[in-house]
Chains A and B, each alone.
Chain A
Amino acid sequence: AQSVTQLGSHVSVSEGALVLLRCNYSSSVPPYLFWYVQYPNQGLQLLLKYTTGATLVKGINGFEAEFKKSETSFHLTKPSAHMSDAAEYFCAVTPSGFQKLVFGTGTRLLVSP
């Protein structure tokens, strides 16, 4: 079975600071991994995904994530936070056969001026 753990339900950063949102996964088979962003009262938007190949994945809005199999992690980073990055972020995992996408509980990113 697959599962995802997101450490920290809330993360606060100052504008211009590094953003680091943590995600650890559990999967019995090679996983596909995703990060989604949700702005208030909206649906989820894909930030980036890892399926196969390069372990450093670049996404939209300057975000990137690195798949580390040895650490079973897929942490999301952005070098410099913008006010517009304030949102809720979800990590998700699915086995490579892709029947079910399992989400973490989400991390709310707060950005202060």
Chain B
Amino acid sequence: NAGVTQTPKFQVLKTGQSMTLQCAQDMNHEYMSWYRQDPGMGLRLIHYSVGAGITDQGEVPNGYNVSRSTTEDFPLRLLSAAPSQTSVYFCASRDSRNTIYFGEGSWLTVV
């Protein structure tokens, strides 16, 4: 049982480039979400999904897109990377007992 798997773990982008952070879970969880973590700000919700085909915005959605074509996958797309998007990104899924499982994080630097 792999849990929540994120790739890549580390990435350096140039300003204006696009990329996709991948997230997959093998626990058949309906709810998945993306957070970003910045020093002194805790984790802030970017987007979330309550099931395949359904997504919604969180606290800081600007500059990010998501889709949920399958229960397992919830990719996060950066459309045109900016230095302000330098952060650590965490994908998470939630089980029926409201326990959230986090991936190990993706460190993104935009130069």
A interface residues, Cβ below 8 angstroms from B: 9, 32, 34, 36, 41-46, 49, 51, 90, 94, 98-106
User: Is there a chain A Cβ closer than 8 Å to B74's Cβ?
Assistant: no
User: What are 30 contact pairs spanning A and B, CB under 8 A?
Assistant: A34-B100, A36-B102, A41-B105, A42-B105, A43-B102, A43-B103, A43-B104, A44-B43, A44-B102, A45-B102, A46-B99, A46-B100, A49-B99, A90-B42, A94-B98, A98-B98, A99-B50, A99-B56, A100-B45, A100-B48, A100-B59, A101-B33, A101-B100, A102-B45, A103-B43, A103-B44, A104-B42, A105-B40, A105-B42, A106-B42
Most chain A beta-carbon neighbours within 10 Å: one of B43, B90, B102:
B43
User: Is there a chain A Cβ closer than 8 Å to B12's Cβ?
Assistant: no
User: Is there a chain A Cβ closer than 8 Å to B2's Cβ?
Assistant: no
User: Is there a chain A Cβ closer than 8 Å to B68's Cβ?
Assistant: no
Contacts of A46 in B (CB 8 A): 99-100
**Closest Cβ neighbor of B100 among chain A residues:** A101
**Closest Cβ neighbor of A45 among chain B residues:** B102
Interface string of B19-57 (1 = CB under 8 A from A): 000000000000101010000111111001010000010
| Nearest-Cβ distance from residue B60 to partner chain A, whole angstroms | 12
- B104 to A51, Cβ gap below 8 A? no
